[in-house]
């Protein structure tokens, strides 16, 4: 165990590392909601593989068998040029059947960042193809996480993602996120949606309505701290964008495939997107894969007569990844895990109710099988308290893994987590938080 950790320290770079440089945990196996590190310590994974996924749980034999079978038959053939592979075709058809009506054209990537990158290009190409080449601007939001490549990284609203790497992608503007708990502080406004809509309209006018290609947003913001918009937010944003001919891209990398209790989260929020980007839960992490879903008229602009989309990755539509995704969807459907995410949400609500009594808990936000618990110095001032120490204590004292995003502790467990395991997670969390002042 120790040796692997030392080797890791010597050779591996960890993005987003928090805490001491020596804090390294080399995971070696897992089953359901449990994972084991190289020292044999067993952890309860309430984070979804540390990254909002692992929907079907760790160590699923069905997924392992699908990967093995595919590797033995055809591990790789290009999804470029005129080539395709059977698993990519079957998965595209399957996704078209699950997606919101009309979004039945699919472009495969290797993950979320490449999906967002593709969506940005697709939006620009769509307008270009329709004779509006000046529509190049993309609007995103502060506190959004969209990825780490140049375009997706520029759209990401975390200052740290931009520090020290020079000029960003041009023509990306950012607006404020919906953050009901902090609306009064952030916008000083009694009508948060009204404020956000005015700001969006002003931003569009400043750029010029004929120069904006698309707005991108997560239906519920994940990395921002499980930020749930007011119910009127997306319908009003959608209407405003439509009135200016601007596309809407839903980044469902976190939310799709059950996380919030639906196959896709955007329809239930009145978002009605033109393009949806997915990744993570599509394979539950068993292989890298992203899928960008779009309407036929957008696809026609990049894959129809006279159109072109000179874009793609060697591993787009990788047979192993697509085989893993198909097996993953079989398990999600067969075990009703999307519905189960709602059940888990109910358990989280029940167990987290007692967080109400804690001065350090400012806000609790639960959407299906994900919860954000925002820490504050005290409830009156709502001064944010960084949650890293809580995450470390949960891991070291209770062997429970959760993630922290600024002041927010995030639970995003596998959808197979049991009732007792949820109770154990929340009990540990409340124990650590209630002792913060000791
Ligand atoms: N969008 C969202 C909402 C995400 O949470 C992430 C990853 N955390 C991404 C995009 C980027 O996906 P990937 O890391 O697979 O490139």
In degrees and rounded to multiples of 5, residue 84 shows phi and psi of -155, -175
Question: Which ligand 1 atom lies nearest to the CA of residue 255?
Answer: 3
The rounded distance, in Å, linking the Cα atoms of 4 and 10 is 10
If you measure from the C-alpha of residue 147 to the centroid of ligand 1, how many angstroms do you get, rounded to a whole number? Answer: 5
Of the pLDDT bands very low, low, confident and very high (cuts 50, 70, 90), residue 251 is: very high
Asked if residue 398 has pLDDT above 70, the reply is yes
* pLDDT confidence band for 435 (50 / 70 / 90): very high
CA of 116 to the centre of ligand 1 (A): 9
pLDDT of residue 293: 98
3-15 pLDDT per residue, tens: 998 888 888 888 7
2-56+336-434 in CATH: which number? 3.90.1150.10
- Rounded percentage of the chain residues whose pLDDT exceeds 70: 99
Mutate to test the pocket of ligand 1, among 109, 143, 254, 255 (most ligand atoms within 8 A of CB): 254
pLDDT category, 68, cuts 50, 70, 90? very high
Grade residue 190 by pLDDT with cuts at 50, 70 and 90: confident
Name the residue of 111, 154, 284 whose CB sits within 8 Å of the most ligand 1 atoms, as the mutation to test its pocket: 111
The per-residue pLDDT for 189 is 73
Pocket lining for ligand 1, CB < 6 angstroms:
111-113, 116, 145-147, 218, 222-223, 251, 253-254, 279
Q: How far apart are the first and last CA of the chain?
A: 32
Residues 169-180 have pLDDT tens digits of 999 999 999 999
Q: Quote the pLDDT of residue 127.
A: 97
Alpha-carbon gap, residue 326 to 330, rounded angstroms: 6
Sign of CA dihedral 13, 14, 20, 25: negative
pLDDT tens sequence across 300-335? 999 888 888 999 999 999 999 999 999 999 999 999
Please give the pLDDT value at position 97.
Answer: 97
Distance 148 CA to ligand 1 centre (A): 8
Confidence class for position 255, pLDDT limits 50, 70, 90:
very high
Query: Which pLDDT band, with edges at 50, 70 and 90, does 18 fall under?
Result: low
pLDDT at 420 over 70: yes
pLDDT digits (tens, 9 = 90+) for 52-65: 999 999 999 999 99
Spatial separation of the C-alpha atoms in residues 249 and 247, rounded to whole Å: 7
Distance 220 CA to ligand 1 centre (A): 13
Q: What pLDDT sits at residue 236?
A: 98
Compute the distance from residue 252 Cα to the ligand 1 centre, in Å. 9
Phi, psi (deg, nearest 5) at residue 73: -100, -55
Residue 21 has pLDDT above 80, yes or no: no
Residues 6+ apart with CB under 8 A from 158: 143, 145, 223
* CA triple 392-401-362, angle to 5 deg: 70
Mutate to test the pocket of ligand 1, among 52, 145, 154, 161 (most ligand atoms within 8 A of CB): 145
Going from the Cα of 412 to the center of ligand 1, the distance in angstroms, rounded, reads: 14
Mean pLDDT of 328-352: 98
Average pLDDT value over all residues in the chain: 95
In the chain, where are the structural domains located? 2-56+336-434, 65-334
Mean pLDDT is lowest, of 5-9, 124-128, 255-259, for: 5-9
Residue 15's pLDDT is what?
Answer: 77
Q: At what angle do helices 388-398 and 419-434 cross, to 10 degrees?
A: 120
Q: Does domain 65-334 have CATH number 3.20.20.70?
A: no
Residue 216's contacts (CB-CB under 8 Å, 6 or more residues apart) are 116, 119, 120, 138, 139, 140, 144, 146, 155, 248, 249, 250, 251
Q: How far apart are CA 407 and CA 430, in angstroms?
A: 15
CB atoms within 10 A of CB 44: 24
Segment holding 42, helix H or strand E: strand 42-45
* Confidence check: pLDDT of 102 > 70: yes
Q: Is the pTM of this model over 0.90?
A: yes
Q: What is the mean pLDDT of residues 272-292?
A: 98
The CA R_g of the chain, rounded to the nearest whole Å, is 22
The pLDDT score that the predictor gives to residue 14 is: 81
Q: Which residue has the least CA distance to atom 10 on ligand 1?
A: 146
Task: Take residue 16 and report the two structure tokens written for it.
Answer: 């987003």
């Amino acid at each position: 165990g120790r040796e692997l950790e030392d080797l890791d320290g010597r050779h591996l770079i960890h993005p987003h590392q928090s805490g001491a440089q020596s804090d390294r945990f080399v995971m070696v196996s897992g089953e359901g909601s449990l994972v084991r590190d190289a020292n044999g310590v067993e952890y309860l994974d309430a984070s979804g593989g540390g990254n909002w996924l692992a929907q079907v749980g760790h160590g699923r034999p069905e997924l392992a068998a699908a990967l093995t079978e595919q590797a033995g038959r055809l591990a790789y053939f290009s999804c470029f040029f005129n080539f395709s592979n059977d698993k990519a075709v079957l998965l595209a058809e399957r996704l078209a059947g699950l997606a919101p009506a009309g979004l039945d054209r699919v472009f495969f990537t290797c993950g979320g960042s490449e999906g967002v990158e593709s969506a940005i290009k697709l939006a620009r190409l769509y307008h270009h193809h329709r004779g509006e080449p000046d529509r190049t601007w993309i609007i995103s939001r502060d506190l959004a996480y969209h990825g780490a490549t140049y375009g997706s990284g520029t759209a990401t609203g975390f200052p740290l993602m931009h520090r020290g790497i020079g000029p960003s992608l041009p023509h990306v503007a950012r607006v404020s996120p919906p953050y009901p708990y902090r609306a009064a502080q952030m916008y000083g406004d009694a009508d948060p949606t009204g404020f956000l809509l005015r700001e969006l309209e002003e931003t569009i006018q400043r750029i010029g309505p004929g120069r904006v290609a698309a707005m991108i947003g997560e239906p519920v913001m994940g990395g921002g701290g499980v930020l749930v918009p007011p119910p009127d937010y997306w319908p009003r944003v959608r209407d405003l964008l439509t009135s200016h001919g601007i596309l809407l891209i839903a980044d469902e990398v976190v939310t799709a495939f059950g996380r919030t209790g639906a196959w896709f989260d955007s329809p239930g929020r009145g978002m009605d997107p033109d393009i949806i980007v997915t990744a993570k839960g599509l394979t539950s992490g068993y292989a890298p894969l992203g899928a960008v879903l779009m309407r036929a008229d957008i696809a026609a602009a990049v894959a129809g007569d006279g159109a072109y989309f000179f874009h793609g990755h060697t591993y787009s539509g990788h047979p192993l990844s697509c085989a893993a995704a198909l097996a993953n969807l079989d398990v999600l459907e067969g075990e009703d895990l999307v519905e189960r995410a709602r059940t888990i949400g109910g358990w989280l609500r029940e167990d987290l109710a007692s967080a109400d009594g804690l001065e350090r808990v400012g806000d609790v936000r639960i959407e299906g099988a994900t919860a954000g618990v925002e820490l504050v110095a005290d409830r009156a001032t709502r001064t944010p308290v960084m949650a890293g120490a809580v995450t470390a204590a949960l891991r070291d004292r209770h062997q429970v893994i959760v993630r922290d995003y600024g002041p927010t502790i995030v639970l995003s467990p596998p959808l197979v987590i049991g009732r007792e395991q949820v109770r154990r997670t929340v009990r540990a969390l409340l124990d650590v938080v209630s002792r913060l002042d000791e």
